[in-house]
Amino acid sequence: MMADIDNTADFKKDSNGRNIETVYCAYCSSKILNPGSATFINMNFSLPHMIRRRDEEAEKRELINDYWLVEEINSFENIGVSHKVENVKYLACADCERGPIGWHDLSTFRSYIALCRVKHQKSNC
């Protein structure tokens, strides 16, 4: 059960900034990242809204500051990737296709997952 709704980064990272919890899709609970596979980064980037009404403009965006930086695309357990939009590809859950939960920068080949758009759960080990 994933009851964790507090996405405060301090509780989700170790002393090196690595994620200490497994990262899951907030909608279908599909595993996205294993513990230790991403590093916390605070940066400003606007993502399109995940949920919008049909009559809302498609370009409505949300400024997000807290992200998991994933250096290698192969570090993901499960991720869907959109077509190129400018110099990025948006990331979504590969199972339920909800997103975007982050983006992949085509100039650096780094990926970013918004903490506020995923769920976190500590390992049972």
Q: In this structure, is residue 102 part of a structural domain?
A: yes
Q: In this structure, is residue 7 part of a structural domain?
A: no
Q: In this structure, is residue 88 part of a structural domain?
A: yes
Q: What is the model's pLDDT at position 55?
A: 57
Q: In this structure, is residue 89 part of a structural domain?
A: yes
Residue numbers of the domain that contains 81:
12-48+59-121
Q: In this structure, is residue 79 part of a structural domain?
A: yes
Give per-residue pLDDT as tens, 39-73.
Answer: 999 999 999 998 755 555 557 899 999 999 999 99
Phi, psi angle pair for 65, to nearest 5°: -110, -30
Q: In this structure, is residue 81 part of a structural domain?
A: yes
Residue 74: DSSP 8-state: G
| CATH classification of the domain holding 70 | 2.170.150.10
pLDDT(16) > 60: yes
Q: In this structure, is residue 16 part of a structural domain?
A: yes
Q: What is the pTM of this model?
A: 0.86
Q: How many domains does the chain have?
A: 1
Distance CA 19, CA 63 (A): 22
